[in-house]
Amino acid sequence: MPDKRQIAASFSRAAPTYDSAAAFQREVGERLLNLLPVSPASEEWRKNAVVEEGAGEKVQSWLDIGCGSGHFTRLLAARYPKSQGYALDIAQGMLHHAKSQGGAEHWIAADAENLPFSEGSFDLLFSNLCLQWCKNLEQVLSEAGRTLRPGGLLAFTSLASGTLAELNAAWQAADHFTHVNRFRAFAGYQAICRASDFKLHHLSCHAELHHYPTLRKLTGELKALGAHNLSPNRPPGLGGRARFAAMTRAYQQKQCAKGLPATWQVVYAVLGKAT
């Protein structure tokens, strides 16, 4: 796992460019939002509901964990207009950027593994594509359980192993360094969630295949998101031209009519605290 200060610095640097590269992140978060209860429940929501009707409907206070540029903070505020909204991120730069656009009453620079809130503070914890950066998911769930009120919901998306497998394989053909962030296996998410005190309303993993016109487009997008490689075993410097060229040759063997493929393994979870 990368060092937290490096994660914070990388996302802070990416704050001005994040939104321009985050179309996929928004799609994923919107799918998560659609799994959450709405009040009053629409026919459409009832059809696809993963949470029994009534559960988690009355949201008086919510927290967006790893709010990034605040896109979902603003959507949560619009969805729960009479509630108290909190947004938290480890990267000060992201938090500043998000705060300037509004959405929450409270903005907190903190770590998802160590929530600075007292017991039973929230009805809903929402987290889109942040928890893959947390080494200790058990601790995140324990903190979520502590800060939720009875009957509250923790809804999160994250990334599982197999994400950017094509880029990883291409780099492996070029050298022995780690160039792609490591992700927990979906089986690990399942084991940790099942061992927690939460009721599992929904837990699934979906492979999303994207195509990029060039490799630069993919690596540029990861950089703009602040999500490029931060692994402790990454190569010193830029990795060297020769190695980058070898990786490019290996990746280009996967070229198809749509472009260069890149897989994302996305985990969707809605967990409930007992009443």
Ligand X SMILES: C[S@@+](CC[C@H](N)C(=O)[O-])C[C@H]1O[C@@H](n2cnc3c(N)ncnc32)[C@H](O)[C@@H]1O
Task: Enumerate binding residues for ligand X (CB under 6 A).
Answer: 7, 11, 22, 25, 29, 66-69, 71-72, 89-91, 94, 111-113, 128-130, 133-134, 225, 227
Other residues' Cβ atoms within 10 Å of the Cβ of residue 24: 15
Minimum CB distance to ligand X smaller for 66 or for 272? 66
> Taking the complex as a whole, how short is the minimal distance between the CB of residue 92 and ligand X, in angstroms?
9
Burial 206-239 (b: 16+ CB within 10 A, else e): eeeeeebeebeebbebbbbbbbbbbeeebbeeeb
Nearer to ligand X, 68 or 85 (CB): 68
Tokens 């590269």 -> residue: 21
Gap between the Cα atoms of 51 and 200, Å rounded:
9
The owner of tokens 């919107």 is: 30
Indicate the SS3 state at residue 244: helix
Residue closer to ligand X, measured from CB, 94 or 174 = 94
Whether the Cβ atoms of residue 97 and residue 16 lie closer than 8 Å to each other: yes
User: CB of 234: closest distance to ligand X in angstroms?
Assistant: 17
Min dist CB 185 to ligand X, Å, is 19
Which burial class, exposed, middle or buried, applies to 257 when counting CB atoms under 10 A from its CB (0-12, 13-18, 19+)? exposed
* Smallest separation, CB 252 to ligand X (Å): 27
Q: Work out how close the CB of 5 gets to ligand X at its nearest, in angstroms, rounded to a whole number.
A: 11
Contact residues for 135 (Cβ-Cβ < 8 A; gap 6+): 1, 113
Nearer to ligand X among residue 13 and residue 58 (C-beta): 13
Residue placing its CB nearer to ligand X in the complex, 14 or 247: 14
Check: CB of residue 114 under 8 Å from CB of residue 35: no
Q: Tell me the closest approach of the beta carbon of residue 131 to ligand X, in angstroms.
A: 8
Q: Which of 179, 192, 194, 96 is nearest to 140 (CA)?
A: 192
* Residue length of the chain: 275
Cβ closer to ligand X: 39 or 142? 142
The residue with its CB nearest to ligand X is: 68
CB of 117 to ligand X, least distance (A): 13
Of 32 and 215, which CB lies nearer to ligand X in the complex structure? 32
